[in-house]
């Protein structure tokens, strides 16, 4: 199975600059943040409602509760919101206060004000990666990057599995990138 490409720091900056130049930059940054900072899949991002992410007071929740219908595995689950993700979601709410006050509305909207489908989210990622000249990246790149960076920082594999919302640890392990530099760094720890 071919894995989605991990982005180098320079590639992440190129994508971010392209998003900044787009008229829906706050929305697009929030979509990318949900993938890169929480590991959400395109179908999960598309399924989010405003009330899933923002409390009645309009503040970003510290936990997003996904219903069974919003997940790939048809099982309810939780997503913890990091400070980086919270910041991107707060910027989004500030940019679109009328939209984010409608609790039952889809979290993300198109230019026609309809909600995004999972395919629309996939296409959005593909568009920005193509514009940035990045080959091999997909809507799953952020999820894979999220899990690999946790592993690189020494987070326990079971914790990563829980954050990935995987049933099996071997599924999680397939996401984590290994390369010669990581292997060499590991043996130098002895």
Q: Indicate the pTM of the whole model.
A: 0.90
pLDDT given for residue 1 in this prediction:
54
State pLDDT tens for residues 142-175: 999 999 999 888 899 999 999 999 889 988 888 8
pLDDT given for residue 9 in this prediction:
94
What count of Cα atoms within 13 Å lies in the side-chain half-sphere of residue 152? Answer: 14
Which secondary-structure segment (H or E) carries 66?
strand 63-66
Joined tokens for residue 118: 């999972």
Distance CA(177)–CA(144), nearest Å, equals 8
pLDDT given for residue 23 in this prediction:
87
pLDDT given for residue 69 in this prediction:
84
Domain residue ranges in the chain? 9-141
pLDDT given for residue 36 in this prediction:
97
Flag residues of the chain having pLDDT under 70: 1, 113
Joined tokens for residue 102: 């409608």
CATH topology for the 9-141 domain: hpI Integrase; Chain A (1.10.443)
Distance CA(29)–CA(51), nearest Å, equals 19
């Amino acid at each position: 199975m071919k894995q989605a490409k991990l982005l180098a720091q320079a590639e992440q900056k190129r994508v971010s600059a392209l998003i900044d130049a787009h008229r829906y930059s706050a929305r697009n940054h929030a979509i990318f943040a949900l993938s890169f900072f929480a590991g959400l899949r395109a179908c999960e991002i598309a399924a989010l409602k405003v009330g899933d992410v923002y409390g009645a007071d309009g503040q970003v929740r510290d936990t997003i509760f996904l219903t069974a219908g919003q997940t790939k595995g048809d099982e309810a689950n939780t997503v913890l919101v990091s400070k980086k993700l919270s910041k991107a979601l707060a910027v989004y709410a500030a940019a679109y206060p009328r939209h984010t006050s409608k609790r039952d509305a889809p979290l993300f909207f198109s230019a026609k004000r309809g909600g995004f489908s999972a395919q629309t989210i996939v296409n959005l990622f593909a568009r920005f990666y193509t514009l940035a000249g990045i080959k091999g990246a997909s809507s799953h790149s952020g999820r894979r990057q999220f899990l690999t960076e946790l592993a690189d920082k020494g987070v326990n594999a079971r914790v990563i599995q829980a954050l990935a919302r995987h049933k099996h640890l071997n599924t999680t392990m397939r996401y984590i990138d290994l390369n010669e530099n990581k292997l060499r760094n590991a043996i130098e720890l002895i």
